[in-house]
Structure 1
Amino acid sequence: MACRVLLAALLLTAGTAQAAMYRWVDSNGRVQYGDTLPPTYQQSGAAEMNKQGQIIKRTQSEAERKAEAARKAEEARVQQEQQKQAQSDRALTSTYTTEAEIDLARDRALEHHKLAINGAKIRSVAVDANLAELNERIAMIEKAGRKVGSGLQGQLDQATRESLELKRTILANEEAMQKVREKYAADKARFRELTGK
């Protein structure tokens, strides 16, 4: 019987020795201690201590958890950017061996846009000549006091639309050429950095 009482007392003290102690700051700014952490302070952060009063575990407040999540998200974004840059660098150095090859690739990429611009400019000459002729005919009809026919007006509208579309094509291809030049200039500068050439 005495053995059982002794065993129970040992188990009870062992359980007490394992019990955690918590420290938290209440809403009035006072430091509080207890063997259980009130639920309201589980989100605002607290410290778990051993019997000697040393902090063995700390729970983060909601603000700390959000800041930690934001920091981890930023680290992940930076790491992803670095991986993307490393992949881009590998592609660059495996595709080209000299800056001259980069210039050649740039010129090939520009060629498509140059052809589109030249084609649009050639067509624009014919369309603009047709527009001038149509406008002249309409002016003569109106001067004579007659009504402009729907067929002639339709031709003018169509030629006007085509002229505007050709101008848009030229502008879009000129902008695309600028982007191509900028991309290959950046590739060339990065190639120099990576190869030391």
Structure 2
Amino acid sequence: MIKSRLLLASAAFCAVFCLNAEAKLYKWVDSQGVTHYGETIPPEYANRDTKQLDHGRLTDRKETFDSDKMNSTKKETPEDKAAMDARRHDEALLNSYTTDKEIDLARDRNLLQIDARINSYTVLIKSAQDSLTSLHQESDNRTKKGWKIPQSLTDDITAAEARVADLQKSLEDNQKEREAVKARYDADKRHFRELKGLPAVDPNAK
């Protein structure tokens, strides 16, 4: 009888190891110290040290998970990021335009808006400078006549000078933006032609 039980237990144990090679078997010990085998690990024992039966061998599940984690957390290098950004830029160019003429049109639309702001600031600066000139003239006339210059006039001159400076800075910022936008679209146009296998064009050509 005992011999029969031993044979049955041995057969059952062999069956565990003779499962399909594709199946993943795990060995774990419960809170009572009892060893179990199965294709899945109960959630309550997931954090315990377990063993995976891999083609008849026991492998440490924790080490396998740590190795996977290391591979998945590999840091992206600056070169990798630069290459990815370049690919995305190429895709954006090819998806956004069908000919380089469309790039010219997009550039001109953007420059038109910037030019409108530049013209507006130019007019505002002239007006602000005229106002400042009038205030300085009033101050000079009072000085020539020996009159006291009121604090309100001094404050007006200070405010007018600050306004002219602010407007001048805004004008310069927009002029720089215009140059940057033009340069960016020109570079995009050159690169677009390269991607399409088209010959380079003379940048000075009309």
- TM-score computed with the length of structure 1 as normaliser: 0.60
Alignment of 1:75-114 (within 5 A): 81=85, 84-85=88-89, 87-94=91-98, 97=99, 99-114=100-115
AA in 1 matched with 2:160: A
Counterparts of 1:104 and 1:49, CA distance in 2: 63
State the number of aligned residues: 168
Determine if the alignment matches structure 1 residue 3 to structure 2 residue 4: yes
Distance in 2, matches of 1:70 and 1:9, equals 43
Please list the CA deviations of residues 40-76 of structure 1 after superposition, one character each: whole Å capped at 9, or x if unmatched: xx7xxx997766x7989893585x55641333767x9
Task: Find the residue that maps to 1:134 and give its secondary structure.
Answer: helix
Measure the CA separation in 1 of the matches of 2:194 and 2:113.
Answer: 29
Are 1:120 and 1:170, in contact at CA under 8 Å, matched by a contact in 2? yes
Aligned position for 2:133: 132
CA contact (8 A) 1:50 1:56 kept: no
User: Kindly tell me: are residues 178 and 10 of structure 1, through their superposed partners in 2, closer, same or farther at Cα, counting changes over 3 Å?
Assistant: same
Aligned residues of 2:136 and 2:157 also touching (Cα < 8 A): yes
Unpaired runs of 5+ residues, structure 1, are 21-41
Aligned to 2:193: 192
Secondary structure, aligned partner of 1:71:
coil
Q: Does 1:70 align with 2:73?
A: yes
Q: 1:85 to 1:47 in 2, by over 3 A?
A: farther
Percent of paired sites with the same residue: 23
Question: Does the C-alpha gap of structure 1 residues 118 and 56 become closer, same or farther in structure 2, counting only changes over 3 Å?
Answer: same
CA spacing shift, 1:136–1:114, aligned 2, 3 Å: same
Write out aligned runs for 1:39-188 (5 A).
59-60=63-64, 62=66, 64=67, 67-71=70-74, 81=85, 84-85=88-89, 87-94=91-98, 97=99, 99-142=100-143, 144-188=145-189
Shift in Å at residue 112 of structure 1?
1.9
Structure 2 regions of 5+ residues with no counterpart? 20-24, 27-48, 199-206
More helix by share: 1
Q: In the alignment, is the contact (CA less than 8 A) between 1:131 and 1:156 conserved in 2?
A: yes
Partner of 2:40: none
Q: Is the 8 A contact 1:49 1:56 kept in 2?
A: no
Give, in angstroms, the shift of residue 81 of structure 1: 4.3
Root mean square deviation of aligned Cα? 4.2
CA distance in 1, matches of 2:63, 2:135: 82
